[in-house]
């Protein structure tokens, strides 16, 4: 019994950096189709702003068409004139960024990525409210925590969690929601999928579709301060993973595209 369509796994990519000719897989990303009518979609690689910021280039790792090793492509983040090839959300507090992708070129080069159609497999905040999304709903997090991208193939790691707090997002009071889920470095930029359910309690709605509902920003840190017994002053701050994950809704991806649409179209030309 499958709860996630197999093609979902091919929508997710590993993001890496290179140092001394060796690569480290440091984050996740996914391919997203922004609906535009004809020809259907503008396709983007979506991740976090902090994943791209400060780098001239990153590596993108996706599976091949056949049973070959995964394909690795260098993604230049700026053009020759210094203008960026990636675009961030206009609100600096929203950690979302998109890179336009010529999807057909990846297939020509032997890769087999797929994308989440934004009007079919993803839902926004208003739609989440409409289907009754609430605290306690189960979710899946897809990505590559701790750089575990697989040896030869790009195999996604799927982790489970629940929505911990979402009402402030649904009420328009926040641009993030929280998961009770363990995410680690490398999960940033991965998609969050609402788990389909066959049953629900009486009087509530049921969602039987595995909708993409957001993008992982990172974990919410917990800080513990070590105080000197002699001076009574803080000496060391220990930062731990609280077990809560911060997620931006799909709305933030659409807003990023719309805010930069003119520059995106100029870049493609």
If pLDDT is split at 50, 70 and 90, which confidence band does 159 have? very high
| Sign of CA pseudo-dihedral 205, 163, 51, 190 | negative
What pLDDT, on a 0 to 100 scale, did the predictor assign at position 229?
A: 81
The torsion of the CA quartet 69, 71, 74, 75, rounded to 10 degrees, works out to -140
- What are the tens digits of pLDDT across the range 174-183? 999 999 999 9
CA angle 233, 235, 237 (to 5 degrees): 120
- When pLDDT is averaged across residues 24-49 and rounded to a whole number, the result is 93
**CA 189, CA 142: separation in Å to the nearest integer?**
9
Model-level pTM greater than 0.85?
yes
Share above pLDDT 90 across residues of the chain, in percent, rounded to a whole number: 64
pLDDT for 202 equals: 62
Give the residue-averaged pLDDT of 253-269: 87
The Cα–Cα gap between 177 and 170 comes to 9
Residue 141: closest CA among 228, 230, 245, 34: 245
- Contact partners, residue 171, CB within 8 Å, separation at least 6: none
Mean pLDDT throughout 206-229?
A: 88
In the prediction, which pLDDT does 268 show? 55
Query: Quick one: 100 exposed, middle or buried, by C-beta within 10 A (0-12, 13-18, 19+)?
Result: buried
Selection from 9, 212, 10, 250 nearest residue 106 by Cα: 10
State yes or no: pLDDT of 269 exceeds 60.
no
Confidence grade of residue 204 (pLDDT, cut at 50, 70, 90) = low
Average pLDDT of the residues in 93-110 = 91
Which pLDDT belongs to residue 198? Answer: 63
Check whether 157 has a pLDDT greater than 90: yes
pLDDT given for residue 141 in this prediction: 98
Is the CB of residue 242 less than 8 Å from the CB of residue 221?
yes
Class of domain 6-268: mainly beta
Asked whether 13 and 154 are in contact (CB, 8 A), the reply is yes
Highest mean pLDDT among 61-75, 85-99, 145-159, 206-220: 85-99
CB 260 within 8 A of CB 268: no
> What mean pLDDT is predicted for residues 104-133?
92
Residues with Cβ within 8 Å of residue 178, at least 6 apart in sequence: 163, 164, 165, 166, 220, 244, 245, 246, 247
Asked whether residue 201 carries a pLDDT value surpassing 70, the answer given is: no
Domain ranges of the chain: 6-268
Nearest alpha-carbon partner for 104 in 116, 113, 95, 96: 113
Compare 66 and 125 and report the one with higher pLDDT: 125
Mean pLDDT (the chain, rounded): 90
Residue 17 confidence (pLDDT) above 80: yes
Backbone angles phi, psi at 15, to 5 degrees: -110, 130
Q: How many CB atoms lie within 10 A of CB 201?
A: 6
Mean per-residue pLDDT, 219-248: 86
The residue with greater pLDDT, 204 or 173, is 173
């Amino acid at each position: 019994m499958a709860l996630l369509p197999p093609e979902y796994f091919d929508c997710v990519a590993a993001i890496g950096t290179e140092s001394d000719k060796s690569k480290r897989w440091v984050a996740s990303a996914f391919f997203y189709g922004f609906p535009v009518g004809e020809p259907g979609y503008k396709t983007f690689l979506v991740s976090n702003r902090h994943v791209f910021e400060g780098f001239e280039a990153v590596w993108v790792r996706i599976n091949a068409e056949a049973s070959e090793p995964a394909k690795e492509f260098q993604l230049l983040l700026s053009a020759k004139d210094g203008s960026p090839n990636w675009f961030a959300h206009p609100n600096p507090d929203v950690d979302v960024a998109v890179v336009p992708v010529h999807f057909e070129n990846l297939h020509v080069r032997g890769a087999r990525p797929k994308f989440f159609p934004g009007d079919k497999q993803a839902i926004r905040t208003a739609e989440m409210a409409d289907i009754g999304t609430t605290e306690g709903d189960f979710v899946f997090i897809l990505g590559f925590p701790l750089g575990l991208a697989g040896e030869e193939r790009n195999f996604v790691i799927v982790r489970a969690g629940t929505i911990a707090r979402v009402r402030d997002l649904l009420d328009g009071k926040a641009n993030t929601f929280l998961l009770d889920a363990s995410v680690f470095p490398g999960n940033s930029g991965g998609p969050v999928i609402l788990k389909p359910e066959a049953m629900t309690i009486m009087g509530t709605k049921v969602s039987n579709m595995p909708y993409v509902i957001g993008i992982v920003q990172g974990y919410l840190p917990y800080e513990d301060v070590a105080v000197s017994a002699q001076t009574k002053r803080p000496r060391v701050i220990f930062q731990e993973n609280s077990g809560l994950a911060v997620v931006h809704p799909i709305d933030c991806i659409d807003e990023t595209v719309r805010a930069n649409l003119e520059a995106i179209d100029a870049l493609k030309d």
